Chain A
Amino acid sequence: MFSIRAAAYSYSESGTPALDGVDLEIEQGEWVALVGANGSGKSTLAKICNALLAPTQGTCFVMGLDASDPQNTSAIRQNVALVFQNPEDQIVASIVEEDVAFGPENLGLPPDEIRRRVDRALLLTDLELYRARGSYSLSGGQKQRLALAGALALEPDALLLDESTSMLDPEGRDSFLSCLGELNRRGMTILQITHRMEEAALAGRIVVMESGRVAWDGPPPDFFDGGYLRWSFEEPPEMALHHALLTRGLIPQGTKPGVEDMLEALCL
């Protein structure tokens, strides 16, 4: 789906490069969590995957198309949707359902199909009650759902999420993540930028960015088995608890990290 080779990018000629030689292959149907400190290059990489930016060095191929070639831009954007953290930059129509319909309309789809997609996207993002509301009169989290709905209505092959669940409440986030899981099972490729380790744990693969490079790449269990300690990520609370209980000898070595297992071990 994405094939990135030695990609570098600098926003200005003088400054430090935002990307400094990234090699990354992402297959169709993968769910990848992209993590790393502020400024490590995650958003720049996402923009390159969507042909919003062209690498200043190296290459990025999306579904076999060279993302640096302007002739491929529209084909790539039709199949790869990108959602940013700040939804306000992404609102294009003043009424919620018109905003969601904007993408499918641009694809030239028939009205029935547009309606089907808009209904589905509003349902998945829990915005049905708000369909006739003004887009700008939504709360911060509701606007973020609107941006997600707009991307889902494109029914893209790949979804790039740049901290685009940061303003959802925990229940809303859980339900959106399970919706992502469902879309992924049906074949959608997902690249999800997040600072939340609980979210990264749900992906099939974790890629760590550091100073514009890929610093680690592998499955979540390996990552949480200690790999992540090299960076200042926050340990998911249940794992931190397991870790601390073991260290203090409050539960026997070999106790599994599940809540039930820990409870049982403690209450013997």
Chain B
Amino acid sequence: MPIVADNISYAYNVGTSAESVALRGVSFTVERGEWVSVVGHTGSGKSTLAQHLNLLLTPRSGSVSIDGAEAKPGSGESRVARRRVGLVFQYPETQFFAETVRAEIEFAPSNWGVSGGALKACVDEAVSASGLDPALLESNPFALSGGQRRRVAIASVIAMRPDYLVLDEPTAGLDAAGIRELIQFLSGVRDAGLGVVQVTHDLRSALSYSDRILVLENGSRVVSGTPEFVARHIIDNPVRGLVIPPVVRFADALRKKGMNVPLICEVDEMVRAIGIYKERNKKCGS
């Protein structure tokens, strides 16, 4: 069962001089158990698309359906849907309102009547999944460092036990260890059957970890598909704002010299592929 955005368009401030078109007929699908990345330049429409997936925004035309039911604004289904699709905002402070981290994380589940031991279990699980230091539970979320805020935002969305997780630039502000933990966590929830949508301008992480990638430019879809397919496309047709990651560029240069290695950006896999290629060629040559 997927989230399907079908040919959606959206503009801000319609009918005023400040009207700006943010999405132009974009179609997008994410299945449960799948990790899809959305990449594109600053202002390409990524956050606008993300906010459509949990019905914070309603398309001007086109439709969004969640697990087969078309989501109409204000309907009972849309409230249920919003609960199934957890959105972590680009700037985590946007979603904070409580005075302690604990209250922030408890908010959604307690709203749905979870209490006592079950609520505590829910919080503990979210805290450990997000890598948040439990010692911070009684702190004010606004008094935390950038990396800690990011983890609180993720924990409070996990506590909703959503079926889909939409994260807008989740790696920004995290250190290298934090990014590794987050990637591991996202792979884990994907393997456990959640649908994961990662909005990012980091083409490298999109190419390395996602199952599929959607590339946006000025509100339109440029290309979508598997990481290798998208890498090939972007090398041949440069996309505004994006830079080909160095290892992929290296792989492309090798291919041009006749060494048939895959267009991937993980160093270890790349080196393994080169090793295999050289080994095979040596044998053929002798």
Query: In the complex, A167 Cα to B201 Cα: how many Å?
Result: 8
Minimum CB–CB distance from B145 to chain A (whole Å) comes to: 5
B236 close to chain A: CB less than 8 A: no
Query: In the complex, A88 Cα to B90 Cα: how many Å?
Result: 11
Query: In the complex, A37 Cα to B177 Cα: how many Å?
Result: 8
Minimum CB–CB distance from A185 to chain B (whole Å) comes to: 23
In the bound complex, do residue B47 and residue A170 qualify as a contact, i.e. CB atoms below 8 Å apart? no
In the bound complex, do residue B145 and residue A172 qualify as a contact, i.e. CB atoms below 8 Å apart? no
B167-208 vs A, CB cutoff 8 Å, 1 = contact: the mask equals: 011001111111100000000000000000000011110000
In the bound complex, do residue B246 and residue A170 qualify as a contact, i.e. CB atoms below 8 Å apart? no
A233-263 vs B, CB cutoff 8 Å, 1 = contact: the mask equals: 1100110110011001010000000010011
| Residues in B123-164 with C-beta less than 8 Å from chain A | 143, 145-148
Q: Specify which of A85, A172, A245, A267 is in contact with B173 (CB 8 Å cutoff).
A: A85
In the bound complex, do residue A38 and residue B146 qualify as a contact, i.e. CB atoms below 8 Å apart? yes
In the bound complex, do residue A167 and residue B42 qualify as a contact, i.e. CB atoms below 8 Å apart? yes
In the bound complex, do residue B93 and residue A237 qualify as a contact, i.e. CB atoms below 8 Å apart? no
Which of A38, A166, A232, A241 has most B Cβ within 10 Å? A38
User: Of B55-63, B80-88, B105-113, B270-278, which binds chain A?
Assistant: B270-278
In the bound complex, do residue B271 and residue A241 qualify as a contact, i.e. CB atoms below 8 Å apart? yes
User: Of A97-105, A131-139, A149-157, which binds chain B?
Assistant: A131-139
| Residues in A152-200 with C-beta less than 8 Å from chain B | 163, 166-172, 174, 195
Query: In the complex, A188 Cα to B126 Cα: how many Å?
Result: 44
Q: How many residues of B contact A (CB 8 A)?
A: 54
Query: In the complex, A234 Cα to B175 Cα: how many Å?
Result: 9
The verdict on A237 contacting B42 (CB below 8 Å), with A37-B177, A167-B172 known, is: no
> A205 — which chain B residues lie within 8 A by C-beta?
none
Query: In the complex, A166 Cα to B41 Cα: how many Å?
Result: 13
Query: In the complex, A260 Cα to B270 Cα: how many Å?
Result: 17
Minimum CB–CB distance from B92 to chain A (whole Å) comes to: 9
A117 close to chain B: CB less than 8 A: no
In the bound complex, do residue A241 and residue B270 qualify as a contact, i.e. CB atoms below 8 Å apart? yes
In the bound complex, do residue A267 and residue B257 qualify as a contact, i.e. CB atoms below 8 Å apart? yes
Query: In the complex, A88 Cα to B142 Cα: how many Å?
Result: 13
User: Of B28-36, B69-77, B222-230, B237-245, which binds chain A?
Assistant: B237-245
Q: How many residues of A contact B (CB 8 A)?
A: 45
| Residues in B235-286 with C-beta less than 8 Å from chain A | 240-243, 245-247, 249-250, 253-254, 257-259, 265, 267-268, 270-271, 274-275, 278
In the bound complex, do residue B254 and residue A267 qualify as a contact, i.e. CB atoms below 8 Å apart? yes
In the bound complex, do residue B246 and residue A238 qualify as a contact, i.e. CB atoms below 8 Å apart? yes
Query: In the complex, A189 Cα to B41 Cα: how many Å?
Result: 29
User: Of A49-57, A140-148, A219-227, which binds chain B?
Assistant: A140-148
Chain A's closest residue to B178 (CB) is A38
Query: In the complex, A6 Cα to B242 Cα: how many Å?
Result: 43
Query: In the complex, A158 Cα to B201 Cα: how many Å?
Result: 28
In the bound complex, do residue B148 and residue A39 qualify as a contact, i.e. CB atoms below 8 Å apart? yes
> A75 — which chain B residues lie within 8 A by C-beta?
none
B91 close to chain A: CB less than 8 A: yes
Q: Specify which of B243, B257, B265, B274 is in contact with A170 (CB 8 Å cutoff).
A: B243
B97 close to chain A: CB less than 8 A: no
Minimum CB–CB distance from B24 to chain A (whole Å) comes to: 15
Minimum CB–CB distance from A113 to chain B (whole Å) comes to: 29
8 tightest Cβ-Cβ pairs between the two chains A and B:
A38-B147, A141-B42, A170-B243, A169-B241, A169-B201, A166-B172, A234-B176, A140-B90
28 A-B pairs within 8 Å (CB atoms) are namely: A36-B175, A38-B145, A38-B146, A38-B147, A85-B173, A86-B146, A138-B43, A139-B47, A140-B169, A141-B42, A166-B169, A166-B172, A167-B42, A169-B42, A170-B242, A171-B243, A172-B241, A174-B243, A195-B174, A232-B177, A237-B247, A238-B247, A240-B267, A241-B250, A241-B270, A250-B278, A259-B246, A266-B278
Name B's A-contacting residues (CB within 8 A).
12-13, 18, 20, 40-43, 47, 90-91, 93-94, 143, 145-148, 168-169, 172-179, 201-204, 240-243, 245-247, 249-250, 253-254, 257-259, 265, 267-268, 270-271, 274-275, 278
